[in-house]
């Protein structure tokens, strides 16, 4: 395993436990992609064929060689201006508007450890793991532009993970503008592939979609200034026959929380190109003499054993090498959030009552959501005025925190630091701090504007206000929300507005990094109207994210199913809410709501006083159960056992790493009279062994369970849910 360079053939091979990634410096100094897939020992350069193809131009350095064209060859970094008319990964513009890049290989370096990216989230390794991880740096140069482009490859061989990022260094006198930058671009010379993406909308995020990659450009992305509810910055390219348990598949996952785009297309000669990087609309980033631009990175992984293994690779790298801090591995508090129970209409009495109800059923934390600050009685005012409303809280925030702690619960709080209301003291003092175009009435979302986090004075002010709040008492959790898209991009004092959105994200990451370092004991949960910014970039700072504003357990089956392809259960915040559900009006049993919420980081989001005595007793037992099972759920191997978009039930399981314990969950989605029996087939159990189901005491042959399955009880009543806890018998 590791990175190897064949001097004779000028070929780089990156070997992980089960994959090989290979590319070559050709005789003209171009970097040509050769292979990515199952681990190999040979050199794949024989796959390259040189033919005269009509209307495919030839590089200037070749003069009369018509058999060589970048329009046909697979490349490591396809650029605009090389004669390649397919989708470029790198577009540079000069002051005069011309676009042309001619990159040639200069040198390389292989070093131990994983590279880091200044000001950006990235996969990291500990000092102990640095001897196993490696970095490959390839230096390319355009001599006319005096532009150096460094390709960075990070390798975590045991996890079958390769990362890619790019640094652009301007060594010339003239400023250049980056108009497109895709840190990861893969060319598959042959074969048919499906494209799997995760689309959606607010309250229905990350719905899986699978379509063939054809002779057309298939593009997803976000122009919203955030990774978005509409598309997730993660995709899979898979052979048509690939399933959860079988077949070749490749993942790309962007470690970035702003606008992105990804594209897949099959070209005129059958080569498939898949790319991921920054959203190009609105991106026109100046790089002056002596400056360096650093891109976010893309996580790559390959599995020849289907989507389960691919998901395990991604889960491991996210949990072990993206998430950080005290809550990376330790149990998360089981909390109750005030939002669905009270909205903005909180009072001291209602909050303390909710805390007492929570303590009664064994919860760990009360989270005070919206309505505690400024004149915030609804969502039309006061964002930016981060001062406790002592009249509403019946005293200081510090006193409320103390009283909640005395009841026996930890205290958490909600904030939306990136936003500003026009009805606020902050806006009266600093209207220029909001992103809005001079001379135009701003487009509003949720009747609020976005603070300009590309400005240092804005960042410093908001950071200080957050610190004042967190320092006011024993606050152990911060829910960081973001409830609109960015429309009007203009920052005062900036010459080139094409840099603002990217600088905004760098500014956000700067504030989050300072908070993580100053408050290592505080669990920060990310949120953007639920799952509108659910990405690896945010997980670097917030180890869990509110999966969706939709808490309906049946809808959550689809949402959490799609999320599971790229993100571990430990990152999914999932809560039990009231019935009928606030978003859908659907009526579901308390057991179903509990099992659906045990998909990830568990909690409650309702007025607990509305539960019946029997429901409170059941909820208390489920809280105890979750505390017993939390390690299995957050650190066990996750398996999808059905497809909720097609099947009448949704089933999933968590299996301990040693195979000694498994939790199998199932929710019935559709019920018909005199229906067939539903069989759930567990995965990941040890073969030829016996497992005991601890609720019934029955023992089962593991191979029979995995082959024939376990029948779900035949019961009347909609949306029943079941949970089976298996223990390996010695």
The CA distance from 34 to 48, in Å, is 8
**Separation CA 154–CA 113 (nearest Å):** 8
CA dihedral 298, 302, 308, 309 (to 10 degrees): -110
C-alpha to C-alpha distances, 463 to 366, 386, 609, 633, 657, nearest whole angstrom: 24, 11, 36, 34, 40
Give me the torsion for CA of 389, 379, 609, 365, rounded to 10°: -60
Q: Which residue has the tokens 């959030």?
A: 337
| DSSP string of 587-609, one letter each residue | ---HHHHHHHHTTSEEEEES-GG
The 8-class DSSP code of residue 270 comes to S
DSSP character string of 636-704 = SEEEE-S-TTTSSEEEEEEE-TTSSEEEEEEEE----TTPPPPEE---SPPTT-EEEETTT--EEEHHH
Cα separation, 510 vs 508, in Å, equals 5
User: To 10 degrees, what angle do helices 590-597 and 613-635 make?
Assistant: 20
- If you search the block for the tokens 């000669």, which residue do you land on? 269
Which residues share a beta bridge with 294? 167
d(CA 281, CA 263): 14
Contacts of 263 (CB under 8 A, 6+ apart): 87, 182, 217, 218, 219, 220, 273, 274, 275
DSSP-derived secondary structure letter, 434: B
- Closest by CA position to 250, among listed 234, 232, 265, 267: 234
Q: Report the C-alpha gap between 440 and 475 in whole angstroms.
A: 41
Choose the catalytic residue: 76, 93, 552, 615: 615
316 is catalytic: no
Q: What's the rounded Cα separation, in Å, for the pair 546 and 533?
A: 9
By the 8 A CB rule, do 237 and 274 touch? Answer: yes
Of 136, 126, 188, 133, the residue nearest 159 (C-alpha): 133
CA triple 490-495-497, angle to 5 deg? 35
Task: Label the pairing between strands 298-303 and 249-254.
Answer: antiparallel
CA-to-CA distance for 682 and 703, rounded, in angstroms? 10
Give ∠ CA 357-362-368 in degrees, rounded to 5.
55
In three-state secondary structure terms, 350 is: helix
Cα-trace Rg, the chain: 27
What is the distance, to the nearest Å, from the Cα of residue 559 to the centroid of all Cα atoms in its chain? 13
Contact present, 523 and 555 (Cβ < 8 Å): no
* Active site annotation includes 552: no
Out of 93, 102, 369, 535, pick the active-site residue: 535
Instruction: Name residues whose C-beta falls within 8 Å of residue 176's C-beta, 6 or more positions apart in sequence.
Output: 92, 93, 94, 145, 147, 170, 286, 287
Q: Show which residues are catalytic.
A: 535, 615
């Amino acid at each position: 395993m590791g990175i190897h360079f064949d001097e004779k053939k000028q070929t780089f091979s990156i070997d992980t436990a089960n994959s090989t990634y290979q590319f070559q410096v050709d005789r003209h100094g171009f970097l040509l992609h050769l292979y990515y897939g199952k681990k190999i020992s040979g050199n794949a350069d024989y796959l390259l064929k040189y033919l005269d193809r009509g209307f495919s131009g030839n590089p200037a350095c070749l003069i009369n060689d018509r058999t060589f064209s970048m329009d046909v060859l697979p490349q490591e970094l396809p650029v605009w201006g090389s004669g390649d008319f397919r989708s470029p990964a790198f577009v540079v513009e000069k002051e005069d508007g011309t676009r042309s890049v001619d990159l040639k290989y200069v040198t390389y370096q292989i070093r131990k450890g994983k590279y880091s990216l200044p000001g950006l989230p990235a996969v990291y390794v500990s000092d102990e793991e640095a001897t196993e991880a490696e970095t490959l740096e390839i230096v390319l140069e355009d001599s006319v532009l005096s532009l150096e482009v460094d390709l960075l490859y990070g390798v975590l061989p045991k996890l079958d993970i390769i990362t890619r990022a790019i640094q652009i260094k301007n060594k010339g006198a003239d400023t250049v503008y980056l108009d497109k930058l895709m840190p990861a671009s893969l060319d598959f010379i042959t074969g048919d592939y499906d494209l799997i993406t995760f689309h959606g909308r607010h309250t229905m995020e990350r719905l899986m979609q699978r379509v063939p990659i054809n002779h057309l450009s298939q593009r997803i992305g976000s122009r919203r200034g955030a990774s978005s509810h509409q598309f997730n910055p993660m995709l899979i390219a898979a052979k048509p026959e690939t399933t959860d348990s079988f077949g070749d598949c490749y993942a790309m996952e962007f470690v970035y929380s702003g606008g992105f785009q990804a594209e897949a297309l099959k070209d005129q000669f059958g080569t498939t190109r898949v790319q991921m990087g920054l959203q190009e609309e609105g991106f026109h980033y100046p790089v002056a003499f002596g400056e360096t631009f650093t891109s976010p990175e893309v996580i790559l992984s390959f599995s020849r054993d289907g989507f389960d293994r691919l998901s395990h690779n991604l889960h491991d790298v996210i949990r072990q090498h993206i998430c950080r801090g005290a809550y990376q591995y330790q149990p998360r508090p089981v909390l109750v959030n005030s939002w669905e129970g009270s909205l903005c209409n909180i009072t001291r009495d209602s909050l303390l009552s909710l805390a007492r109800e929570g303590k009664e059923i064994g919860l760990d934390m009360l989270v005070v959501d919206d309505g505690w600050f400024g004149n915030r009685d609804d969502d039309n005012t006061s964002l930016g005025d981060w001062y406790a409303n002592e009249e509403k809280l019946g005293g200081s925030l510090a006193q409320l925190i103390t009283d909640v702690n005395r009841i026996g619960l930890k205290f958490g709080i909600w904030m939306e630091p990136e936003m500003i209301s026009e009805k606020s003291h902050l806006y009266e003092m600093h209207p220029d701090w909001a992103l809005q175009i001079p001379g135009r009435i701003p487009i509003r979302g949720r009747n609020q504007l976005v603070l300009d986090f590309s400005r240092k004075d804005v960042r410093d002010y908001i950071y200080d206000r957050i610190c004042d709040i967190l320092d006011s008492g024993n606050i152990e959790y911060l829910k960081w929300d973001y409830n609109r898209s960015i429309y009007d991009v203009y920052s005062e004092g900036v010459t080139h507005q094409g840099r603002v959105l990217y600088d905004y994200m760098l500014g956000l990451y700067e504030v989050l990094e300072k908070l993580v370092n100053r408050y290592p004991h505080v669990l920060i949960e990310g949120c953007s109207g639920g799952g509108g910014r659910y990405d690896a970039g945010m997980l670097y700072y917030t180890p869990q994210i509110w999966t969706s504003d939709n808490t309906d357990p049946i809808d959550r089956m689809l949402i959490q199913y799609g999320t599971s392809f790229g993100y571990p259960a430990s990152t999914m915040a999932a809560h039990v809410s009231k019935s009928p559900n606030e978003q859908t009006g659907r009526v579901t049993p308390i057991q179903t709501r509990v099992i659906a919420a045990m998909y990830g980081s568990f909690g409650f989001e309702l007025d607990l006083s509305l539960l019946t005595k029997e429901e409170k007793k059941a909820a208390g037992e489920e809280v105890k159960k979750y505390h017993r099972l939390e390690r299995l759920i957050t650190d066990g191997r996750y398996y999808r056992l059905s497809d909720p978009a097609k099947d009448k039930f949704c089933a999933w399981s968590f299996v301990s790493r040693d195979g000694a314990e498994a939790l199998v969950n199932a929710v019935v989605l559709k019920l018909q009279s005199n229906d067939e029996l539903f069989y759930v087939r567990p995965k990941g159990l040890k073969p030829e062994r016996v497992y005991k189901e601890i609720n019934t005491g029955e023992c089962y042959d593991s191979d029979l369970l995995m082959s024939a399955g376990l029948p779900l009880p035949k019961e009347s009543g909609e949306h029943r849910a079941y949970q089976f806890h298996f223990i390996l018998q010695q």
